[in-house]
Amino acid sequence: MRSLIVANWKMYPTLPDSIVLAGEVKKAIEHLQGTEIVIAPPPCWLVPVVEHWGHQLPHVHFAAQNVWPEDQGAFTGETSVYMLKNLIHYAIVGHSERRRLLGESDELINEKVLACLKWHIRPIVCVGEEKKVSDLATSQNRVWGKLIEQLLAGVAGVVHERIDQVVIAYEPLWAIGGVESAQPEYAGKVIALLRSHLAKKYGPLVAERIQILYGGSVTAQNAADMLRQKGINGLLCGSNSLKAKDFAKICELAGKIGA
């Protein structure tokens, strides 16, 4: 399985910034065929960035930062998977910023996941605990219970045959924002916990094939240690995906270390 590296540009670059960044990123990653790379520009710049990108590279795809589950209708300000389906291969779904700031529920996130699968778009479902806890000790069962709930609610109704189209991104909320990433061993353990619950639902062989990423203050410096953890199949990068050289370095490390 190739590692998957996702760039979430959030609401940072303006249109001219996005075009310049896309050009720099393309130049820096076009030779890195050993890694699957996904770029999520701000929604309003998705079309100009894809158009400017020009010649498609087989290992690079675009993602939406969010989608709406209905195909068409009176949903002011929203964009459906159906409308984006020819532009994107992936969609970030349930990012913690949307859960926290816009009150997105597990049910809505699940509808988005199912809509993505209906249109053959791979959803990247974000889950993560709010507060930093010291370890996976049973005293913290409430925290882990909530995390598992997010995971299982997100994939509710996804059949065995389709679950490997779903990507899970484990993003502890306290680690997002470029200040402090989780320790690689900690992230590895939580991801193993998530996978064990997917194994209970889908069986161990299927669960092994589900890509689970780590996200939260990923840098060119900590990426290798994260990717060396068993079960971490890739990374979701925010702030550092806005620096073409750092992002390319992360993609290069992913190609060398593998998933």
Question: Residues interacting with ligand PGA, by CB under 6 A?
Answer: 8, 171, 176-178, 215-218, 236-240
Question: Least CB distance from residue 214 to ligand PGA, whole Å?
Answer: 10
Question: Least CB distance from residue 177 to ligand PGA, whole Å?
Answer: 5
Residue 65, SS3? coil
Q: Is 171 a catalytic residue?
A: yes
Residue 213 dihedral angles phi and psi, to the nearest 5°: -105, 160
Paired sense of beta strands 36-40 and 60-64, if any: parallel
Q: Which is nearer to ligand PGA, 43 or 178 (CB)?
A: 178
Alpha helix stretches (DSSP H) within the chain:
15-29, 46-53, 81-84, 96-102, 106-118, 141-154, 184-202, 204-209, 223-227, 244-257
Question: Least CB distance from residue 241 to ligand PGA, whole Å?
Answer: 7
Distance CA 141, CA 109 (A): 23
Residue tagged active-site, from 36, 95, 97, 111: 95
What six digits make up the tokens of 235? 């990374």
Question: Least CB distance from residue 113 to ligand PGA, whole Å?
Answer: 17
Q: Which is nearer to ligand PGA, 177 or 203 (CB)?
A: 177
What six digits make up the tokens of 84? 């984006």
Q: Which is nearer to ligand PGA, 65 or 207 (CB)?
A: 65
Q: Which is nearer to ligand PGA, 101 or 205 (CB)?
A: 101
Q: Which is nearer to ligand PGA, 35 or 239 (CB)?
A: 239
Q: Is 120 a catalytic residue?
A: no
Query: How many helices (H) and strands (E) would you count in the chain?
Result: 10, 8
List C-alpha distances in Å: 87 to 19, 41, 93, 100.
16, 12, 16, 27
Question: Least CB distance from residue 225 to ligand PGA, whole Å?
Answer: 15
Alpha helix stretches (DSSP H) within 155-230:
184-202, 204-209, 223-227
Active site residues: 95, 171
